[in-house]
Structure 1
Amino acid sequence: MIKATDLKIEYLTGNPTIDIVSPKLLWKVQEAKTQTAYQVKASVDGQEIYDTGKVRSSVMDHKYQGKLKSRSQVTWKVRLWDEKDICGEWSEKSSFEIGLLDEKDWVAEWIDPELFHEPEERQPASYLKKEFLVENSGNARLYITAHGIYNAYINGKKASDFILAPGTSQYNARLQYQTYDVSGLLNVGKNEILVTVGDGWWRGDTGYGGVRNSFGTDLAILCQLEIDRKTVLISDKSWSASQEGPLGLNDLMQGECYDARKENICEWHPVTEKQFGYENLVCSNSFDVVEKENYTGKQIHTPNGEVVIDFGQNIAGYVKFGFYAQAGQCITLYHGECLDQNGNFTQENFQAPEHRVEQCVKYICKEGWNEYKPEKSIFGFRYIKAITDVKVTEKNFTAIAVYSDMPQTGKFECGHPGINQLFSNAVWSMKGNFLEIPTDCPTRERTGFTGDAQVFVNTGMYLMECYPVYRKFLSELREVQLEGGCISQTAPASQGHLFDGAAGWSDAIDLIPWRMYLRYNNPEILAENYEKVKEWLAYCLERAKKDNPGRKKGKNEKYSSYLLDTGWHWGEWIEPDWNGFINTEDPGGTYLRDIYEHGAPEVCTSHLSYGCYIASEMAKALGYQKEAEFYSEMRKFTKLAYREVCMENGHMKQKRQCDYVHAIMFDMLSEEEKKIACDELNEMIVKNGFHLNTGFLSTYELLHVLTDYGHGDTAWKLMLQDTYPGWLYQLKYDATTVWENWKGMEAGREPKDSMNHYSFGTFAGWLMDRVAGIRVEKGKIRIQPYPDRQIGYVKASYDSPFGKIKSSWEYEGENCRIKVEIPANAHAEILLPDGSCHEADYGKYEYVIMENKHE
């Protein structure tokens, strides 16, 4: 009998607190071919007041239309009708809450725990406390946020599992608060709340250069506790504070100092009320950041004799330790991603030229049993180096991964162990960098770079449920205020940067929501970002009117006012063989200066033109026909500008792999020209010894372009390339995450750059949507696998927005057996390597075909 499962609220599970008053309720279908109707019932604050009745529809979501207000607690369920119009049973219940929607809901005061602020000096963590009385038990909620990172405890017990609350956001416009159900922590009678707060993203070291005080120089908290919607506690001047607690200097990336001998705090002083207001307070509408996988380590013997423990997996998180010690004994832990060329512990690979990231925990022991894990820091590491006078072994340490609580949705396995490891590396690089927002790396800067986020979004949506994370990231990006419609290259961001507006980076404002729309078929993500997209394109089109004086202009150029070749851009960053066209000691810096001085229309104009196409499609989807026509016109002219400067007689002028990929992926060419261009691209790769030479903005589509235009065999040779530059090369150095630099490690040389950069992990998307052939676009499923005998077999599954899809293939003698599983309430087109096409509904399908190599 048909039933609804996997109920979600705005792609979230559990009992989230949100501030979306008309949330999307979602479910998936099981045990029926088709859903023909649904009915949703909801109870608000215990009273069933919402009933859609029977709605004739096959869609697996419903936008709640009832009236919700602050603190509303909603429980809902859904039942379905199948293709025979037979009604199934009611689903299990799901619930959510509405946060505080109005500034008037807040009666608490902001309080500053510090007696003075030292902007140039790191400060110890602050402790705040307050005793309060509870007359009657009931349904209790703690609403809380901070300037800095906080932890809240009621009667000695932590209020939530959320790590690094309140999270990172564009604080001046969007400061997240959390809502915790603390009913089980309260006593009738006397209670005590304790809150610790440290620097965090608010005033700690952030970014590549270690910028401090990004959003302020203070620390502060705001909280109110309600029982059955009656306020029983607020933050105000009656609280006490101390800076004499055990947690001293603390920083998100640098680390923290903890003196366990100071856990009984004796010195307290009054707090100061502040008027920071409530207008920027929001719910995250995303996943909590929580502790996930745990790893035990193995002590290794290094040439210099240090105590080094290898946890076997590069993660973002921290280490928990426990041991007996005497008061005053110390342990210092340094966290690193790799060993150096001599096999010793190192942190040098992720250091910036003028700023060090220590990733260090210093702990002073109390007498007896000591147990600790960081409260206000997070690190990228696989190894720790321990310096201590305490007798410890590997058994005293546990590494804990920390990231946004995203379920894994994509799984892939094949007959090549190296490819399986690489897929795992891509997943772990995503886990290590998706903490609240997509960041570039968890060590050197932990910054929300737009370029990384946009190139990975298609892959990310296969690997994990990341819609809420990307939606939140776009919310932060929209709030970074720059002049003239320019889009920041990072978000959150407290100040402007030379490369704000960089092509391929700032284009994330249109590329990310568009790709999310294609996958989830949810136009709301378009509506949320459309106005900002318009501002961005207006800015870019205005820039295009200016010519770069360093670019030699052709005599017959007609469309140069639509050619974008001015400004600072990253271009095709981290191209492996820069010296193939730039012969200097600093090819990267020379490349960036060359773009500024002479332009890079191949990169910039192709992105602008595709952005105009996206805007046109967005406008159509949202019902803005005149605007759709305008952007369609801009698409035409920018494409003409591109073709007259970047092409000659139907061929690319520049013979760089990246330019061919851009031209094909952004539809700058006709279909016939694409085939010719891909043939030329393939020839370049063959001449390069089957090595890629693409960088940041084209590697993510290189394998797709080759596969789609008849060179799947070359795509596989790139995937299986185990010499530099190649993904399998990294496994020679026991990589467990994806590197930033194609030559991050090599024999006899110091490691360099981040060892955990998810952006080059986009091969995992190709493994899912081309090798396994699972594609989902605008609510339609296509299965089109590309088997290859040298891999032997493939098994893949994708828990898509429309249900779990499975695809596998395996060679049996001269035949290839292909198996497909389509979820309920879905229809799929199955295209097989022998050219046959099949239509499929809910069910399992199996095909046996003769081997067919893809030329």
Structure 2
Amino acid sequence: MNKKVILSTVLPLCLLISFAQVKVQHLLTENSTNPIGLGVQQPRFTWQLMSDKRNTKQTAYEIKVSGNKGTMWKTGKVGSDQSVQVVYAGTPLKSDNKYTWTIRVWDNDGKASAWSETAFFETGFLNTSDWKAKWIEAGFTEDSINRPGILFRHQFNASKKIKSANLYITAHGMYEVQLNGKRVGDAYLTPGWTSYNKRLQYQVFDVTRMLISGNNAIGATVGNGWYRGYLAWSDNKNIYGKKLGLLAQINIVYSDGSTEIIVTDEKWKSANSAIKSVEIYNGERYDARDEKSGWSSAGYNDAAWKGVNLLSTDFDNLTATENELVKKHETFKPIKLITTPSGEKVLDFGQNLVGWVVVKAKGNAGDKIVIKHAEVLDKAGNFYTENLRAAKATATYILKGGAEEIFEPHFTFFGFRYIKLDNYPGEINPDNFTAVTLYSDMKPTGTFTTSNALINQLQHNIQWGQRGNFLDVPTDCPQRDERLGWTGDAQAFSRTATFNFGVDNFFSKWLKDVAADQEPNGSVPFVVPNVLGHNAGGSAGWADVATIIPWNMYLAYGDKKVLETQYPSMKAWVKYMTNASKNDLWNSGFHFGDWLFYRPNDDNDGRAAVTDKYLIAQCFYAHSVQLLINTAKVLNNSADEAMYTDLLQKIKAAFLKEYVTPSGRLVSGTQTAYVLALNFDMLPEGLRAQAATRLADNVKSYDNHLTTGFLGTPYLCEVLTRFGYTDVAYTLLLQQDYPSWLYPVKMGATTIWERWDGQKPDSTFQTPGMNSFNHYAYGAIGDWMYRKMVGLDTYEDGVGYKHIKIQPHIGGGFTNASASLQTYYGTVAAGWKVEANGISLDAEIPANTTATIYIPASNATLITEGGKAISGVADIKIIGTEDGDVVLQVGSGKYHFVVNK
């Protein structure tokens, strides 16, 4: 036979075999790709299976982990379908070491994959004794009024050829570090914000390529940051300490195997920087005339610099970084140069964002540029900063003169859409200004789109509210003199957050601070890290962050470890409520209640009277206990499960006795009261339907508007859908006048507002004392849009989308809606279209998962998949019908269903 004929026959067959074979990719260690500086002895491994075949599952895996001295762990073939967070169980890991790992799997046809590409991870300091560096502070008396940034530098010699080098670094304050004149890393606002006295994170950077054999220099700039800057109110500063400090260590391995350690010690030098003052709320003042050219390079003359003081302290509060650092992301050019009625020169960037503006300018030495930041213009079109309260939010740059200069801040950030320019030298050219966003480097995971442009803009606003407020901690707002980790906002939005971005590491880190700052009696602070002091905690719906977010992380990511870690904190919070209760009724203490609920003019009948705060407290008490029951079950703690089950029955009985009439009417007839009672199952089965009717009737009585606040809003549409009032939920979603989700959209919002009417219909503003235009809490409606409207969800028997639920709720006049989510198993996607001849539904299910799909059809004979009747598709199992849906069970693959009229 002709060789060409043989090759033409064999090659396609080989390609077909290789394409059909399952592949392994997207290897993660502790939820990250090739992480450096891990602080855990037993990291967890995750991988994805890729296959074009439907119903592909993993039946076994084999992992190999290697270190400098050979194999650390070889599992052999393990019969298991687990592909997410498999715990390392090999030879104990060592500090500051690099390890590689690879994996292969077997599918449900018994076929083995090829070995995956090699991934790696590097450990950080696993013991405090690994720190050889010493804390240093400036060797001169700091300016206690302006509190400028401080420079630290050190020159050292690396005498041999360098094989590898890691920099370990943290600060009292915020730091930026340079090696041989170049910036190290692309992170900002490091070391991030934690409860510093208990947990101070350090970062690790691979600086191998930044060092040279011979003379080197390291330099760091340190500013106030969260450590000693002004936070909250009433001149609240120096919360964690009074002096800036630096701790740094470079571990060098030479090619000959020898090692050397460079540390912060008494040999370092210090000086004031060109940053003349810097505060998170007030901004930064920078004088380029005082720049010290070449200060972080070898050979620089630092004879005029001062020495340093050594700080005697232990390293017990130091911890490895586990969350994504703050980095630069999107950039925006001005869309408009405005001269306001007051004559102000204002640039509009078209998006309310968080970060700062990079400025180009050319002028004379001493010329001063002043940039002020604002979210909105007032009714007359003038620059409006009254809602920033005491925050000056100003960047001031003083030119050194000569060539074009480029400025940007270092240790502050702003929430803004507009900037006002004063004293800019020369003509204002918008091309010389670039707005740069800053937020934690979370991976975007979710997409959502519909046939309604306003709803699509709402989704845009939800995501941008999350971007701007997930700045190392989940802040309440990014612009005024606050920017704190309010616990109520975070718990309300947490499930929505898990869809839009990968926030498991983000919240895992923050939850450790929730536990660290929890009072000895179990009370959880209003804000975390707690900068408001003792007794600023214990509010229902805020403190329940201790139970709600761990459970939401478990559901969204399948992360059992977060439950194990947070379980003592969860129990302590419930114990606090139990101790504060009398006869199982929690009706004492301070509570924020249904914060910022809509207050209509209802003097005639009082239908929207303030929801009883103790009714709310009892509901959240029950909810936290239910989450403890759930968690105890996951952790196989049967004794706790039984104990909390008994407690929950008593809590609900006390609620029924105190707040419910025999006919099922609540003492507070508000939407929030019924929403919480129904969502947390506070009522007996027989009283729930009438309560849901009362809720729907209440909504209709307000001309189909909501009246809920921070605690009622997240569950409002969820409860309506659960009890058969999806039409009412859609009506609420699509309302365009105040109060509604779309009212801010119609008013031009690009983020979620703090208040339903932050800007009133006449373009005047709500009270400036509390009126943020970037405040994500009401964006919690996103959770209903993703999990109910499109119907993309996970079951509790297969959390983290191991067992996927797709149950769309079609309505509202929408002709289509779709969503996709990057899970640890791969892409999960669903979408529906209403067409002339029926309804189509698409679904994408990743390998190694299963899905239960609800098709809106009266019977299975109306449904086709891929053009075939589903009864004839081998990969689809018809389970039955439920509430007007045909229920199907499927494995991995892409599916296209059509329901014919």
TM-score of Structure 1 vs Structure 2, range by shorter chain: over 0.9
- In 2, Cα distance between the equivalents of 1:679 and 1:8? 48
- Matched residue type, 2:157: L
| 2:448–2:459 Cα contact (<8 Å) kept | yes
| 1:482–1:496 Cα contact (<8 Å) kept | no
Residues 459-494 of structure 1 deviation map (CA, whole Å, 9 limit, x = unaligned): 111111000011111001111142312111211114
Which residue matches 2:28?
Answer: 8
- Matched residue type, 2:462: A
| 2:727–2:812 Cα contact (<8 Å) kept | no
Indicate the SS of the match to 2:101: strand
1:617 corresponds to 2:617: no
| 2:285–2:396 Cα contact (<8 Å) kept | yes
Which residue matches 2:360?
Answer: 322
- In 2, Cα distance between the equivalents of 1:788 and 1:773? 12
| 1:498–1:568 Cα contact (<8 Å) kept | no
Q: CA deviation at 1:734?
A: 1.1
Residues 494 and 230 of structure 1, relative CA distance in 2, 3 Å threshold: farther
Pick the aligned partner of 1:710 from 715, 719, 724: 724
| 2:733–2:742 Cα contact (<8 Å) kept | yes
1:237 corresponds to 2:266: yes
1:637 corresponds to 2:650: yes
- In 2, Cα distance between the equivalents of 1:71 and 1:385? 48
Matches for 1:145-544 after TM superposition, within 5 Å:
145-209=170-234, 211-228=236-253, 230-243=259-272, 245-264=273-292, 267-298=304-335, 299-351=337-389, 356-367=390-401, 368-391=403-426, 392-444=428-480, 445-496=482-533, 498-544=535-581
- Matched residue type, 2:276: G
Q: CA deviation at 1:124?
A: 0.7
Residues 711 and 814 of structure 1, relative CA distance in 2, 3 Å threshold: farther
Q: Mean Cα displacement is larger for which, 230-239 or 770-779?
A: 230-239
TM-score, normalization by structure 1: 0.93
Residues 792-832 of structure 1 deviation map (CA, whole Å, 9 limit, x = unaligned): 11121111233211111111115121111111111111112
- Matched residue type, 2:384: T
- In 2, Cα distance between the equivalents of 1:740 and 1:45? 53
- In 1, Cα distance between the equivalents of 2:841 and 2:449? 15
Q: Mean Cα displacement is larger for which, 63-72 or 215-224?
A: 63-72
| 2:36–2:124 Cα contact (<8 Å) kept | no
TM-score, normalization by structure 2: 0.88
Which residue matches 1:678?
Answer: 692
Residues 190-223 of structure 1 deviation map (CA, whole Å, 9 limit, x = unaligned): 1111110000000112125552111111100011
Which residue matches 1:821?
Answer: 844
- In 2, Cα distance between the equivalents of 1:583 and 1:316? 43
Q: CA deviation at 1:850?
A: 5.7
Pick the aligned partner of 1:798 from 821, 831, 839: 821
Residues 618 and 389 of structure 1, relative CA distance in 2, 3 Å threshold: closer
Where in structure 2 are there 5+ consecutive unaligned residues?
A: 1-20, 294-301, 858-884
Q: CA deviation at 1:616?
A: 1.8
- In 2, Cα distance between the equivalents of 1:581 and 1:472? 47
- What is the RMSD computed on CA atoms of the aligned residues? 2.0
Which residue matches 1:772?
Answer: 790
| Bigger CA radius of gyration | 2
Q: CA deviation at 1:787?
A: 1.4
- In 2, Cα distance between the equivalents of 1:694 and 1:577? 9
Q: CA deviation at 1:300?
A: 2.4
Which residue matches 2:893?
Answer: 843
- Matched residue type, 1:248: K
| 2:850–2:892 Cα contact (<8 Å) kept | yes
- In 2, Cα distance between the equivalents of 1:685 and 1:96? 53
| 1:519–1:777 Cα contact (<8 Å) kept | no
- Matched residue type, 1:705: V
- In 1, Cα distance between the equivalents of 2:736 and 2:593? 26
Residues 340-377 of structure 1 deviation map (CA, whole Å, 9 limit, x = unaligned): 121111111232xxxx1111100001221101111111
Residues 758-790 of structure 1 deviation map (CA, whole Å, 9 limit, x = unaligned): 111011111110111000133221100011261
- Matched residue type, 2:456: N
Which residue matches 1:553?
Answer: none
Residues 744 and 850 of structure 1, relative CA distance in 2, 3 Å threshold: farther
Residues 579 and 138 of structure 1, relative CA distance in 2, 3 Å threshold: farther
Pick the aligned partner of 2:164 from 139, 160, 168: 139
- Matched residue type, 1:329: D
Q: Mean Cα displacement is larger for which, 613-622 or 626-635?
A: 613-622
- In 2, Cα distance between the equivalents of 1:168 and 1:792? 45
Indicate the SS of the match to 1:332: strand
Indicate the SS of the match to 2:449: strand
Identity of matched residues, % = 34
Which residue matches 1:647?
Answer: 660
Residues 583 and 291 of structure 1, relative CA distance in 2, 3 Å threshold: farther
Matches for 1:778-793 after TM superposition, within 5 Å:
778=796, 779=798, 780-788=803-811, 790-793=813-816
| 1:321–1:398 Cα contact (<8 Å) kept | yes
1:27 corresponds to 2:47: yes
Which residue matches 1:729?
Answer: 743
Q: Mean Cα displacement is larger for which, 672-681 or 360-369?
A: 672-681
Which residue matches 1:749?
Answer: 764
- In 2, Cα distance between the equivalents of 1:431 and 1:510? 24
Which residue matches 1:124?
Answer: 148
Where in structure 1 are there 5+ consecutive unaligned residues?
A: 546-560
- In 2, Cα distance between the equivalents of 1:582 and 1:321? 56
| 2:168–2:203 Cα contact (<8 Å) kept | yes
- In 2, Cα distance between the equivalents of 1:48 and 1:162? 33
- Matched residue type, 1:370: E
- In 1, Cα distance between the equivalents of 2:893 and 2:66? 35
Residues 218-266 of structure 1 deviation map (CA, whole Å, 9 limit, x = unaligned): 10001111111833321111111111x2111011221111111111277
Residues 739 and 209 of structure 1, relative CA distance in 2, 3 Å threshold: farther
| 1:316–1:403 Cα contact (<8 Å) kept | yes
Q: Mean Cα displacement is larger for which, 680-689 or 810-819?
A: 810-819
1:577 corresponds to 2:599: yes
- In 2, Cα distance between the equivalents of 1:541 and 1:755? 37
- In 2, Cα distance between the equivalents of 1:5 and 1:435? 30
- Matched residue type, 2:473: I
How many correspondences in the alignment?
Answer: 820
| 1:110–1:235 Cα contact (<8 Å) kept | yes
